[in-house]
Amino acid sequence: MGNPWLMAAGGLNAVASLAHLGCIVGGASWYRAFGAGEGMARLAARGSPKPTLITLCIAAMLALWAAWAFSGAGLLPRLPLLKPVLLAITAVYLLRAAALPVMISTLPDRGRRFLVVSSAIVLAMGLIHAFGLWSGWRTL
């Protein structure tokens, strides 16, 4: 059996990617519900391509991160630069979580609850990636 932590990390990345795609389909109400900010929701309501393009890029990035985690778990063939990429993904999640105080002061339209909840989610995702890296370091 592969690395269960990286399997979980891959699954969480995939779910996050699908949630972002759901925002594109769900429109302005989904952008609001997921905390993208009123500006993004209004653009989506007006039919602007900007929210779709931004959200597609995020969804694609998360899907790639899922692939790297699944590769590290042994579920997909070995992808190039496996250790450095997994380290970078882990760092991004943990840095995003650590940025909570700055985000609260600079992104008031996102709402404090959204920022705290999303920071807790990315902290958990970063820790799951970190446990996966730590437990499988020799075999990665």
CB-based burial, 102-131: b 16+ in 10 Å, e otherwise: ebeeeeeebeeebbeebbeebbebbbbbbb
Tell me, what DSSP letter sits at residue 77? P
Is the pLDDT confidence value at 113 over 90?
no
Residue 110 confidence class, pLDDT cut points 50, 70, 90: confident
User: What is the per-residue pLDDT across 9-52, written as a single tens digit (0 to 9) for each?
Assistant: 999 999 999 999 999 999 999 999 998 888 999 999 999 999 99
**pLDDT for the residue numbered 86:** 98
**pLDDT for the residue numbered 89:** 98
**pLDDT for the residue numbered 65:** 98
Domain ranges for the chain, please list them: 4-139
Is the pLDDT confidence value at 1 over 80?
no
* Residues with Cβ within 8 Å of residue 84, at least 6 apart in sequence: none
**pLDDT for the residue numbered 12:** 98
pTM of the model: 0.92
**pLDDT for the residue numbered 75:** 96
Angle at 134 between CA 128 and CA 138, to 5 degrees: 135
Helix, strand or coil, per DSSP, at residue 109? helix
**pLDDT for the residue numbered 38:** 87
